[in-house]
Amino acid sequence: MGRDPAGGGPLRPCAGRSAGTGRRDSAGGVRGRADTLQAAVAGVSTGVLLVRLLVAVVAGGVVGVEREMTGQPAGLRTHALVSLGAALFTGVSLLYSQGDQLRTVAALATGIGFLGAGAIVRSGATVQGLTTAASLWVTAAVGLAAGSGLYLLVVASVVLMLIVLRGFAWLKTVAHIGSPEE
């Protein structure tokens, strides 16, 4: 347990929170990360959430087009829907959750993990679908960022995904490493 910087004895965590997760506010009370997040989204309207959902669909669609161009089974619609779903869960959680929004993040990661597992196929010594599963997983994270209004993170993530999916596939072909596409 830490010491109160004002000299009032040891700091005690708030009920239901672990030590070290709260900060002192101007009145001397402790406020946690969830309170800070709630304050940040207090002014979010349905219109703002609709824009965030649109951004999520476009971002997921861009990645999906790349997957379609390489002939992968999970393409434009799948990636756009995964991104949209993640953004929608995030937006609803931000508006209506009384608890910890990080639970939404954990639940999304787990749920998309199951979806990705369905994309992986093993045939003898070869495993196919790993890149598709990974792209679905990252697309869900992009949707989560869009649903949170982190547009710069959305753009940067999509650009990095395209670099990894296109650039690394090209590098594998040039360097003759493994198969050109998983």
Compute how many other C-beta atoms are within 10 angstroms of the C-beta atom of residue 112: 22
**pLDDT > 90? residue 13:** no
Confirm whether pTM is higher than 0.85: no
pLDDT, greater one: 15 or 145: 145
CB 25 within 8 A of CB 32: no
CB 32 within 8 A of CB 17: yes
Confidence bin at 33 (pLDDT 50/70/90): low
CB 160 within 8 A of CB 66: no
CB 162 within 8 A of CB 62: yes
pLDDT at 156: 98
Q: What is the pLDDT of residues 71-109, one digit of tens each?
A: 888 899 999 999 999 999 998 888 876 667 778 888 888
Q: What is the pLDDT of residues 95-104, one digit of tens each?
A: 876 667 778 8
Q: What is the pLDDT of residues 116-167, one digit of tens each?
A: 888 888 888 888 888 999 999 999 999 999 999 999 999 999 999 999 998 8
Q: Measuring CA to CA, how many Å separate 122 from each of 36, 91, 129, 144?
A: 45, 36, 9, 30
